């Protein structure tokens, strides 16, 4: 379907799928869900458009939240903040936006563009710049394809706002992050303004519909008595990485990021084994008994073992029984250029990236 209007069930399914694609980050999807459902209850329409329908000259702008996800528990957004940033960017360019886009496929940042689309009566593109969630502004496929993050607009809930025009996208991250920390740890951005042709070359197609499909598959599997995890892994071509109980959790707010690790003690098939998942807003690496079994840019997601519900990094806590899964990222992240931006070495892990399917094949031959 090239164009469709979101229904309430689509939103419920989308936030489940987005939390799984978000790999622990992107902000609490529950807050975003309430914001979108409120728009629908007010009679607003949210139109989702296939990427291929965008005119080459259309003005496309992604919108998002920026900052530490845990801050959103205390600074609940109204939905107006991102609209303020978008309006400011339109004033800068002196032209109206034609399409809104998500910048990532995870958490609240999968829903903020829907709220903006509803309020501004703008279609939302069924695509994004990550196919998952990442912690820094340059960690998008738009950057890899040479699109500038700036001029960008950034605002907070008080109405403070800035326009940034930086020499490159790494400087956009550094300066915007510093401002975000100063305004309380979360801000709202309109970023990577571009036109349809380069956007279609760079963006990851179908991320909204994939999130909806993930949620639908899980819901229907539960309703029919099938194993929802098996259904999820079939859809994502994923792998079960570990099952166990969280016995330690360390979390620090450093430099505008939620950093830390969860230590999981195995049971069932993983008895006498231990898994450490390290994160920077999003889960970065999974280390089983001192061996890395999955790493960025592939996706690592922690689920409640009983319900299959995804757990964001800010909700990890001692005693939770969890299932850790992993699945392949888009091929756009597996190029040499892309790995310099989102590979394990960028995050300080002295390992070469190995696709998760190759890691799993290697492990299976050793056991």
CATH number at residue 192: 3.40.1610.10
Is residue 175 in a domain?
Answer: yes
| 50 and 90 belong to one structural domain | yes
Q: Residues in the chain with pLDDT < 50?
A: none
CA distance 126 to 132: 14
Is residue 86 in a domain?
Answer: yes
| 26 and 135 belong to one structural domain | yes
Is residue 99 in a domain?
Answer: yes
Which CATH number fits the domain that encloses residue 321? 2.40.390.10
CA distance 140 to 202: 9
Written as six digits, the tokens of 204 are: 């990851």
| 163 and 246 belong to one structural domain | no
| 110 and 238 belong to one structural domain | no
pLDDT in the model for residue 70? 61
CA distance 162 to 141: 24
CA distance 314 to 308: 17
Is residue 317 in a domain?
Answer: yes
Q: Who's near 58: CB < 8 A, 6+ residues apart?
A: 98, 99, 195, 196
pLDDT in the model for residue 107? 81
| 262 and 361 belong to one structural domain | yes
| 275 and 146 belong to one structural domain | no
| 240 and 305 belong to one structural domain | yes
Q: Which of 152, 172, 207 is the last residue of a domain?
A: 207
pLDDT in the model for residue 26? 74
pLDDT in the model for residue 67? 83
| 237 and 341 belong to one structural domain | yes
The count of domains in the chain is: 2
Determine the straight-line distance between the first and last CA of the chain, rounded to whole angstroms: 44
Q: What confidence tens digit (pLDDT) does each residue in 121-170 have?
A: 999 999 999 999 999 999 999 999 999 999 999 999 888 999 999 999 99
| 196 and 270 belong to one structural domain | no
pLDDT in the model for residue 363? 78
Is residue 228 in a domain?
Answer: no
Is residue 8 in a domain?
Answer: yes
Written as six digits, the tokens of 322 are: 């969890």
| 130 and 183 belong to one structural domain | yes
| 194 and 237 belong to one structural domain | no
CA distance 207 to 141: 13
310 contacts 20 by C-beta, under 8 angstroms: yes
Written as six digits, the tokens of 326 are: 């992993």
pLDDT in the model for residue 32? 85
Half-sphere exposure of 120 (CA within 13 A, CB side): 27
Mark out the alpha helices in 131-278 (DSSP H runs).
Answer: 141-144, 169-182, 196-202, 207-224, 228-236
Is residue 126 in a domain?
Answer: yes
Q: Which of 146, 173, 207 is the last residue of a domain?
A: 207
216 contacts 231 by C-beta, under 8 angstroms: no
pTM, full prediction: 0.93
pLDDT in the model for residue 72? 60
pLDDT in the model for residue 30? 80
Written as six digits, the tokens of 198 are: 């380069």
CA distance 361 to 13: 31
Domain extent for 320: 233-366
287-308 burial, b at 16+ Cβ within 10 Å, e below that, comes to: bbeeebbbbbbbbbbbbebeeb
Q: Which of 143, 172, 207 is the last residue of a domain?
A: 207
| 173 and 252 belong to one structural domain | no
Is residue 183 in a domain?
Answer: yes
pLDDT in the model for residue 175? 98
pLDDT in the model for residue 76? 65
């Amino acid at each position: 379907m090239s164009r469709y209007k979101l229904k309430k069930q689509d939103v419920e399914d989308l936030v489940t799928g987005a939390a799984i694609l978000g790999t622990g980050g992107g902000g609490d999807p529950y807050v975003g869900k309430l914001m979108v459902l409120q728009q629908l209850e007010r009679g607003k329409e949210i139109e989702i458009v296939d990427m291929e329908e965008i005119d080459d000259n259309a003005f496309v702008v992604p919108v998002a939240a920026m900052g530490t996800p845990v801050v959103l528990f205390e600074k609940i957004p109204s939905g107006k903040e991102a609209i303020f940033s978008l309006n400011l960017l339109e004033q800068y360019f002196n032209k109206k936006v034609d399409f809104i886009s998500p910048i990532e496929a995870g958490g609240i940042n999968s829903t903020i563009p829907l709220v903006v689309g509803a309020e501004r009566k703008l279609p939302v593109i069924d695509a994004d710049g990550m196919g998952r969630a990442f912690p820094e502004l340059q960690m998008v496929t738009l950057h890899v394809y040479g699109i500038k993050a700036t001029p960008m607009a950034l605002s907070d809930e008080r109405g403070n706002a800035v326009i940034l025009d930086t020499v490159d996208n790494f400087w956009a991250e550094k300066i915007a992050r510093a401002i975000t920390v100063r305004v309380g740890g979360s801000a709202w951005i309109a970023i990577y303004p571009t036109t349809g042709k380069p956007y279609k070359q760079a963006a990851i197609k179908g991320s909204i519909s994939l999130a909806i499909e993930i949620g639908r598959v899980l819901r229907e599997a539960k309703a029919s008595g099938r194993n929802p995890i098996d259904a999820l892994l079939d859809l994502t071509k994923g792998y079960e990485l570990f099952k166990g109980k969280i016995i330690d959790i360390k979390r620090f707010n450093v430099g505008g990021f939620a950093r830390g690790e969860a230590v999981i003690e195995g049971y069932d098939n993983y008895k006498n084994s231990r898994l450490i998942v390290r994160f920077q807003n999003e889960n970065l690496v999974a280390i089983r008994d001192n061996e890395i079994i999955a790493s960025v840019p592939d996706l690592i997601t922690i689920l409640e073992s009983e319900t299959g519900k995804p757990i964001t990094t800010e909700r990890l806590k001692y005693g939770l029984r969890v299932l850790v899964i992993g699945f392949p990222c888009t091929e756009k992240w597996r190029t040499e250029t892309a790995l310099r931006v989102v590979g394990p070495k960028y995050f300080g892990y002295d390992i070469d990236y190995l696709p998760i399917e190759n890691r799993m094949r290697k492990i299976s031959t050793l056991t």
